[in-house]
Structure 1
Amino acid sequence: MASKNNTVGITEFIITGFNDLEHPKAVGIVILIIYSLILLGSTTNICIIASDKHLHTPMYFLICNLAIVDIMYSSSASVTMLTVLLVGVKTVSYKPCAAQMFLYHMGDFMEAFAIGLMAFDRLVAISNPLRYHSILTNTRILLLVLTTWVINSAVVGTLAGITEGLPYCHTVLKYTFCDYPGLVRAACVNPDDYFVFPTIVVSLVIYGNFVFILLSYIWIICTVFKISSESRKHMFSTCFSHMIVVVCYFVPKFVANILTRVGLVLTIPERNGLHIVATLVPSLVNPVVYCLRTKEIRNRILRIFKDNTVIPSK
């Protein structure tokens, strides 16, 4: 491992991932709109669930947890991207960059765990409907959620500790925001040596959760085939929202991490674009899906608009 004593006095990095864009401000406006919608949708879900005691159930706690993760995940990357694209400031000081890296990977890994916990919720609800409320109590769900936050804090903290001790000698980051690969490649080290641990982490956290979700759905499908066609439609409807979330999060991951290792060649701008999509699209889709497809949240929003509608006097 490299020592801090070898570090050249680099106090800031230059973000160059958007240098090839012909219309950076237009891209910045699009990202700003998407980010604003993420904040609006996620905050709406959190406020509705927090304010309605009838929604203080395991499923809605998990939706609320996912909304919190979406805000952190999207904010970690969007703030820097908007600063570069709309303000024109391409430099990021080391400490804010390191903090952004921590929040970004924390959000990324927590997204996988949050989706995995929601799969577990659906698995119990469908395979053991009569025992659902005794198996998944609010206390148990809160403990599970808290455990995932603690585990991810330790893992991402280890990544932050690795980057903290690197001898940096390059100021240019060829990416659109600060993340672990960018900081490692800015150091005077062989980057391959520093990707072993993250590869193990990604395999266990992200693809481990994917395998768990896949097995959960296999079990759910086997269970669904044993029930009536009417109940089957209801079960499919309860899982469809979650399946959309799973696809939006994991498909970009497979393209970036799996297909690129088996022959798919992506340029740096294409990789940057894929990373932006992988960060913003799931966080945009998640609150929309649960606002529109979850009956209780949708009805609560409609009641809010109905109660606040001003009827003109005759």
Structure 2
Amino acid sequence: MDSRLPERHELEAFLVLAEELHFGRTAERLRLSQARVSQTIRKLERAIGAPLFERTSRRVALTPIGARLREDLAPLHRAMGEAIGRATAAARGVDGVLRLGFLGAGAGELTPTILETFRARHPGCEIQMRETHFADPLGPLRAGEVDLLLTRLPVEEPDLTVGPVVLSEPRVLAVPARHPLARRRSVSLEDLARHTVFGVVGPAPDYWWDFHVPPTTPSGKPVPRGQGVATFQELLALVAAGQGISPVAASVTRYYPRPDVVFVPFDDAPPTDVAVVWRTAGATARTRAFVDAVEHAVRGHGGPARH
């Protein structure tokens, strides 16, 4: 057994071989000869003091010690690569492209202020914006299609970081123009038990949709769920067609007015908040710079915008 610590290239060779379980494919991935891969693995085994692979003429398999080492080492190696990536991005500065996702009206009236602040600070960085939908509000972020997301809370995911709240606003009930509730000055969450609301089509977290469209009223009465919807425009079209009703954010009355849909204020629904969210492991200099711009805009507004 060697007294030295294993070197990084030895650990990388081990992880690739543990995945491929084939010296030829491992050599191709590492751009080394098979003899060099075998030599590297033998050096690592001497440093650890035990065989990590069982080798025969027909197969390569991990030993119990090798399997345990892969289990312990893989997340550390991944975290190290991400840390190096973040450091490299920081060293390169903020220039480049920042992809920003937004759900619906996003941060509302604060969005232009946030973008203006960011562009003034970082003129070399281009912002590309993409709308997301509530059927899968977090999917584009997780898939790496956007770097940050302005989205409705709650977001309770272990791999995502929730940043500052940008907007807090009351909720209203979207009903067809000829619906009995359309003549009311206000409605209660208890009213949902007597009418059909919409479900959602897609992988949106259950807790996210249940906050916006609760499965039961505060007194415990079930809320009838109707057709599933995937986009906000689809939801409004179905409301207008008399297929159901739905709680929505109050800003919808300004950004999505329709003559065939009436928005009635709730008198007992909790507010809905918008915050900036990003992948914890994917934070870069650009994402941090944008969050700084968000915080600056929120402070300049005296806190999260309230409508």
TM-score by length of structure 1 reads: 0.21
Over alpha carbons, which structure has the higher Rg?
A: 2
Counting helix residues as a fraction of each chain, which structure ranks higher?
1
Task: Point out which structure has higher relative CO (alpha carbons under 8 A, 6+ apart).
Answer: 1
TM-score by length of structure 2 reads: 0.21
